[in-house]
Amino acid sequence: MELGILRRRRLQPIPASPARDLPPDATAGEPLIRMIDIVKTYHTPAGDFVALAGINAQFWRGEFVSVVGKSGSGKSTLANMITGIDKPTSGRVVVDGTAIHTLSESRMSRWRGRHLGIVFQFYQLLPTLSLLDNTMLPMDFCGMYSPAEREDRAMELLRMVGVADHAHELPGAVSGGQQQSAAIARAIANDPPILVADEPTGNLDTRAADNVFRVFQDLMNAGKTIIMVTHDDALAHRASRLIRLADGKIVSVETLDEAAVRASRHSTMPTHVHANARSKGHSSKLGAAIGMSPLTEGLRA
């Protein structure tokens, strides 16, 4: 898969092994996303409901993080805090240097168009536009790239995700997996550093889901930060880091062992290592990296 098109702008080199869960003083540099003391309370007729109960998390450039947890645990709410689709009741979200919780709705959509790609479970392609036109939309909307360049770029992106042959077809004429591939092409049209996907494979069969996952892996290798909410445990365990939520709190973090990553280059079934199984020092660093207190870490045993 050709990802040269994504390297047009400055992208940090990816370390040979995923030391991306290390703290900022390590190889990964400053976190790209910081969630600080995030609380989200929904006010309902039945009373207040706390969907996120104090989330502290950090995400680095070039890492692929899956977010798992039971239905209702707060996964989508967390994703929506990063995309700015929803705002925290209290706390701060800093994405690529911007405190997005402070942005007005109009500034938010301009900001989002350039900094973030979003992929949804049901693709959300415009049904009356071809896959190519859907992919060009974000560039048109944000005035990115010259008008002459946009079609070439959209075509290149569709080729990258494997659906160039269907570029001129309407979404309804292609499979769910192909629609999701086009939705990913659209999400990265403006070359954002971050891709947030909420249940991107929830509507796909295993093969199509695997294809989507591989596209995400390629994007990670091109320096993108991928955050994927999923119910699919097997897929989640193939990301470079896994955050588990329960009742609006982070209850555990797992990371790929370096050896497992090496193995993953030759196999689609890498071994996963729970953070607790690693050396205490590393585990503590990992906890600090995502803002977990030693007390919370103790609860992961």
Ligand X SMILES: Nc1ncnc2c1ncn2[C@@H]1O[C@H](COP(=O)(O)OP(=O)(O)OP(=O)(O)O)[C@@H](O)[C@H]1O
Q: Which spans of this chain sit near ligand X (rule: CB under 6 A)?
A: 42, 44, 49, 51, 69, 71-77
Nearer to ligand X, 77 or 296 (CB): 77
CB of 25 to Mg ion, least distance (A): 34
Nearer to ligand X, 164 or 235 (CB): 235
Contacts of 183 (CB under 8 A, 6+ apart): 119, 120, 123, 124, 125, 134
Q: Which stretch binds Mg ion (CB under 5 A): 74-82, 206-214, 238-246, 291-299?
A: 74-82
Residues 226 and 64 sit within 8 Å (Cβ to Cβ) = yes
From ligand X, Mg ion, none, which one binds at residue 230 (CB under 5 to 8 Å depending on kind)?
none
Nearer to ligand X, 69 or 291 (CB): 69
Residues 170 and 128 sit within 8 Å (Cβ to Cβ) = yes
230 near Mg ion, rule: CB under 5 A: no
CB of 247 to ligand X, least distance (A): 9
d(CA 135, CA 122) in angstroms, rounded, equals 16
Nearer to ligand X, 162 or 202 (CB): 202
Q: Which of these, 220, 287, 280, lies nearest to 61 by C-alpha position?
A: 220
Q: Which stretch binds Mg ion (CB under 5 A): 41-49, 58-66, 73-81, 158-166?
A: 73-81
Nearer to ligand X, 73 or 135 (CB): 73
Spatial strand order of the sheet with 90-95 comes to 47-59, 33-44, 90-95, 98-99
CB of 124 to Mg ion, least distance (A): 15
Dihedral sign, CA of 21, 24, 30, 31? positive
Tell me the site size for Mg ion, rule CB under 5 A.
1
CB of 81 to ligand X, least distance (A): 10
d(CA 140, CA 133) in angstroms, rounded, equals 10
CB of 155 to ligand X, least distance (A): 34
CB of 19 to ligand X, least distance (A): 29
Among 58, 73, 76, 283, binds Mg ion (CB under 5 A): 76
Sites of contact with Mg ion (CB under 5 A): 76
